[in-house]
Amino acid sequence: MNKKITVLAGDGIGLEVTGITQNILEIIGERFGHSFEFSPALIGHSAIEATGEPCPQATIDACKASDAVLLGAVGMPMYDNNPNLKVRPEQGLLKIRKELGLFSNIRPIKLFDELLYTSSIKPEILQGSDIIFFRELTGGIYFGTPRERNEDGTEAIDTLRYSKMEVERIARQAFESAMTRRKKLCSVDKANVLESSRLWRETVQALSAEYPEVEVTHMFIDNAAMQLIRDPKQFDVIVTGNMFGDILTDEASQIAGSMGMLPSASVGSEIGLYEPIHGSAPDIAGKGIANPIASVLSGALLLDISFGLKDESDAIISAVDQFLKDGYRTLDIATEETPEDKRMNTEQTGKKLAELLASVT
């Protein structure tokens, strides 16, 4: 198979972890006889520095001409501390998602057995958790207009808008996924307060008529945030809007042990985009200690979802599993019991995973 992958490494630890994933995908290509052609393009702060824009036209064109996109993360503290900077790295991310029509962000929350005792959640609560999130990605409050400040800067407005069509298409994906799993779908909203949530709920409920085998529940976001750590096993598939999904999946990362373990796939058109759920992590950027597994697992999702290469994708997941079974830990998932010689930085993790890929079946 010959495929073109555009690599948008971005900023901070995005730059550090994405190279590892590209290397892993190259090894997979060699081992399974595929040719993956990687081309880098700019996004985020690095794109602003070079071109003045967070997502230049050249990046959009490169992504549209490729078969899949691998993304790191964007963001720099200089923007977080200065709201007056009008051109911002996150705009690049929102733009590329919109341009590629990626309305559905799929976030599987997989707990590797080895990390059962790493999480801050009790093992008996965690064991057996297996959730997949469908987060709406191109609508809601991150995109609605008006979004602006008043003249003297003392008032601000953002707009939470959803159309029936937008809700229906993401809900349909979630229902389809539920049909291949335990046939339970929980839709999360704030329908007791928000009109857009009432539309969301009605739309999901109406669509459920087409999926009589799927048991549908509706939950308010505040309750869902609590239920997710009280009893994560009650959930199978969760569908929710853009901001609620953003927040809930960071919380859900604690089920998997760390932000550094969670991959995501953004789909909706022919070209999928794959990225870890974490950001550019300025607190650890440049130190070479970021956990690259979230990015590497995003590479596995890319192979599976965009290219239909299930065996190749599974080989990567097995290598990660073996890495953990052998006792290796990046700093975010290390515990007091992790011996010095098993503590891995980003580069060491990449090397180990590459070695393991050669041996796992």
**Amino acid residing at 356:** L
Q: How many CA atoms lie within 13 A of 13 on its CB side?
A: 25
Decide: is 281 part of the binding site for ligand NAI (CB under 6 A).
yes
Q: For Mg ion, what does the binding mask look like between residues 197 and 236, x meaning CB under 5 A?
A: ----------------------------------------
Decide: is 114 part of the binding site for Mg ion (CB under 5 A).
no
Q: For ligand NAI, what does the binding mask look like between residues 68 and 97, x meaning CB under 6 A?
A: -----xxx----x---------x--x----
Shortest distance (Å) from residue 17 CB to Mg ion: 16
| Token digits of residue 216 | 């549908």
For ligand NAI, give the closer residue by CB, 191 or 256.
256
**How do 2-10 and 35-40 pair as beta strands?**
parallel
CA–CA gap between residue 129 and residue 125 (Å, rounded): 8
Decide: is 99 part of the binding site for Mg ion (CB under 5 A).
no
> CB under 5 to 8 A by kind: which of Mg ion, ligand NAI, none does 67 bind?
none
CA–CA gap between residue 347 and residue 224 (Å, rounded): 37
Which residues make Cβ contacts (< 8 Å) with residue 350, sequence separation at least 6?
A: 19, 20, 23, 24, 292
Is-catalytic flag, 321?
no
What is the full DSSP assignment across 237-295? EEEE-HHHHHHHHHHHHHHHT-GGG-EEEEESSSSEEEEESS---TTTTTTT----HHH
> CB under 5 to 8 A by kind: which of Mg ion, ligand NAI, none does 264 bind?
none
Considering only 67, 114, 166, 246, the residue that binds Mg ion (CB under 5 A) is 246
Angle of helix 13-32 relative to helix 310-325, nearest 10 degrees, comes to 120
Decide: is 15 part of the binding site for ligand NAI (CB under 6 A).
no
Shortest distance (Å) from residue 291 CB to ligand NAI: 3
Decide: is 45 part of the binding site for ligand NAI (CB under 6 A).
no
Is the bond preceding 123 in cis, omega lying within 30 degrees of 0? Answer: no
What is the full DSSP assignment across 34-74? -EEEEEE---THHHHHHHSSSS-HHHHHHHHTSSEEEEEE-
> CB under 5 to 8 A by kind: which of ligand NAI, Mg ion, none does 280 bind?
ligand NAI
Q: Catalytic residue numbers?
A: 142, 190, 222, 246, 250
Question: Given the rule CB under 6 A, which residues bind ligand NAI?
Answer: 13, 73-75, 80, 90, 93, 259-260, 275, 278-284, 290-291, 294, 332
- Binding residue numbers for NAD(+): 279-291
Question: Given the rule CB under 5 A, which residues bind Mg ion?
Answer: 246
